[in-house]
Amino acid sequence: MKIISYNVNGIRAALKKEFVQWLKAADPDVVCLQETKAMQEQVDMTEIEALGYRHYWFSAQKKGYSGVAILSKTAPNNISYGTGIDHMDFEGRVIRAEYDNCSVISLYLPSGTNTDRLEYKFKFMDDFKEYIDTLKQDFPKLVICGDYNICHQAIDIHDPVRNKNVSGFLPQEREWLEHFLQSGFTDSFRYLNPDPHHYSWWSYRANARANNKGWRIDYALVSEALKENISRAYILPEAHHSDHCPVVVELQ
């Protein structure tokens, strides 16, 4: 099973940048999208359907904001829209597809760009951890793909010293991600790729992408029950539909 996670920073904008041609070439089984910024009825999915994908959307109540979706070549056994936690679901940040051998989540964790949102980010993180702790009792084989808006370690950010007080690399955020991993998950990319300078997001400013001054904030976290099934994990920085790039995990 080849699973791609991709914050597209607006699916309608990505579709204008040859997203469909890229998707055909990449040929994943499942795609977890974040920041779709659209309601399902606003997007012409004809070409994506022609590639064999079913699509499931969980959009924010606020139009043009946030939103997650899952594209799947196999019909899932079930789709769970949201978490049942109102404040999380209002912003369209979690959708889950159940398959015979695993459940795949598309997650869009909030950014903490100002004081109010940083407080909300911590609330979301705590509630999401609690949600997953409960969920994995019934679904131990989880793949949680998405934009976590957190760099885990210094190796995951181009300038750890200057960014130590910036949301996305705050000690409390990093501690939360470490604790989340220790609760029974593997960072699939780091599991197979110990070397530095691999990122999944770059600022639009100061030619950051061309200079590879990025952050690795997009992950495919795999539960311990599936760890031995990880066959490949990699990042696709050559895909330019967004300020993020896709991250991929392949499970045998």
Q: Which of 147, 156, 187, 218 is catalytic?
A: 147
Q: How far is CA 157 from CA 15, 30, 67, 192, 195, in A?
A: 29, 27, 25, 18, 12
147 is catalytic: yes
Contact 95, 56 (CB under 8 A): yes
Active-site positions read 147
